[in-house]
Amino acid sequence: MYDINKIREDFPILLRTVYGKPLIYLDNGATTQKPKCVVDSIVNEYYSVNSNVHRGVHFLSQQATNLHEASRETVRKFINARSTSEIIFTRGTTESINLVASSFTDAFMKEGDEVIISVMEHHSNIVSWQLQAEKKGIVLKVIPMNDKGELLLDEYEKLFTDKTRLVSVAHVSNVLGTINPVKRIIETAHAHGAYALIDGAQSIPHMKVDVQELDADFYVFSAHKIYGPTGIGVLYGKEELLEKLPPYQGGGEMIQNVSFEKTTFNELPFKFEAGTPDYIGTTAFACALDYVSAIGMDNIAAHEHELIVYATQRLKEIPGMRIFGEAENKGGVISFLVGDIHHFDMGTLLDRLGIAVRTGHHCAEPLMHRLGIEGTVRATFGLYTTREEIDALLSGIDRVRKMF
Ligand code: PMP
């Protein structure tokens, strides 16, 4: 049984008020709230274990190292990677994409080579490639979508040439909620001799992900979007591929031997983890993964699916409602505009009612251009979101609509 009341008790922040109203937090796509076990893990490790990892012979350092490496194993299991060598800890999705963009381009791409992205990408999966395009003259191609917000797979196929090296797309759109058919997208990339990177920032909190089943070459995500701490993320990469990529940053941890003449690099995953890692964060991250695993990713997905169906149906009853993203296969994101009310006005007035939603372009300006708008209001759901909160959102929107 999905005991939503019990789940909500694990998140103290959900009890607070804003402007004297109960908080209704519908900005989970930006970041999720943290259960007590995650915050306790941070406090407990600082109070009782804290010591730098990997370098010490002393007790605390070894204990901290064990916790840090056990967290890597928790992540491995969570996404069903073959080995912990394939789990690189980064600062988040953004850093993971930048790492691949930089190292993959260095290893595999020359001027004129091509990367395929999609029209619904977050800026982190656009600009990281543009930076490489400027440095190395690589070319970006873009998969278009239909008006429902579904990628056009026939058009996708047509983008391939003998210069295509990599396809990099979001698993779930942070604006439209579209769940992209990434298994098929990856298969097509492989059939054309290209690799595939999947941006899992918006999928990992909401569904079971199996990187081997998907056959993804790279899969990236952030801890803070799946109830873990900020400042931690993951780059999963197939071992044989990561072996071929040069390091992204230089420093401690990532070396084997250093002399002024020549440096040799550490083995995976440490080759890509220069400097002191956020080992306190990785332990807390593992707590978050254990927490969602105990509830069950399938149960979370089913709960959120029920909410999205209910919310979509009720939102459509509001006069002047325009929903952006009506894909057949859609996750817990609803972007909308009502009449000609500016998204910023809607967001500000909902906030006064205690309802936290996001407004603007959601770091996806090219998608806004495709939709012919400047921005949307975006409500995103989490494992603790209730039907009552959606009802409050609906009556809030209606109240704002009547004011205009
Ligand atoms: N990709 C997508 C699809 C996202 O939604 C986000 C976060 N909004 C990111 C990438 C970037 O994630 P982070 O800021 O945690 O690096």
User: What would the pLDDT profile of 78-99 be if each residue is shown by its tens digit?
Assistant: 999 999 999 999 999 999 999 9
201 in contact with ligand 1, CB cutoff 6 A? yes
For 291-346, how does the pLDDT look when each residue is reduced to its tens digit (9 = 90+)?
Answer: 999 999 999 999 999 999 999 999 999 999 999 999 999 998 999 999 999 999 99
Please give the number of the atom of ligand 1 that sits closest to the Cα of 93: 16
Enumerate residues 6+ apart whose C-beta is below 8 A from 340: none
Span 159-206, pLDDT tens digits: 999 999 999 999 999 999 999 999 999 999 999 999 999 999 999 999
**pLDDT above 90 (res 55):** no
Report how far ligand 1's centroid is from the alpha carbon of 374 (Å). 19
CA of 189 to the centre of ligand 1 (A): 23
- 172 Cα–ligand 1 center, Å: 11
Decide: 174 in ligand 1 pocket, CB within 6 A: yes
Q: Are 358 and 27 a contacting pair, CB within 8 Å?
A: yes
Indicate yes or no: pTM above 0.95. yes
Give whole-number Cα distances, 378 to 12, 58, 224, 386, in Å.
24, 49, 18, 17
Contact between residue 302 and residue 332 where contact means Cβ atoms under 8 Å apart? no
Please provide residue 63's backbone torsions phi and psi, each rounded to the nearest 5 degrees.
-65, -45
Task: Report whether residue 94 contacts ligand 1, using a CB cutoff of 6 Å.
Answer: yes
To the query of whether residue 363 is one of the catalytic residues in this protein, the response is yes
Distance 93 CA to ligand 1 centre (A): 6
Model confidence band, residue 253 (pLDDT cutoffs 50, 70, 90):
confident
Q: Does residue 205 line the site of ligand 1, with CB under 6 A?
A: no
pLDDT at 400: 97
32 lines ligand 1 (CB under 6 A): no
pLDDT of residue 191: 98
Query: Which pLDDT does position 330 carry in this prediction?
Result: 94
Specify the ligand 1 atom closest to the Cα of 91: 16
CA angle 369, 373, 377 (to 5 degrees): 120
Whether the CB-CB separation of 10 and 36 falls below 8 Å is answered with yes
For ligand 1, mutation pick of 32, 94, 182 (most atoms within 8 Å of CB): 94
Cα(221)–Cα(204) distance, integer angstroms = 7
Helix (H, G, I), strand (E, B) or coil at 320: coil
Looking up tokens 């939503």 gives 4
E strands, 325-372, where? 333-338, 355-356, 358-360
Q: How far is CA 234 from the centre of its chain?
A: 10
Three-state SS for 142? strand
- 18, 295, 323, 363: the catalytic one is 363
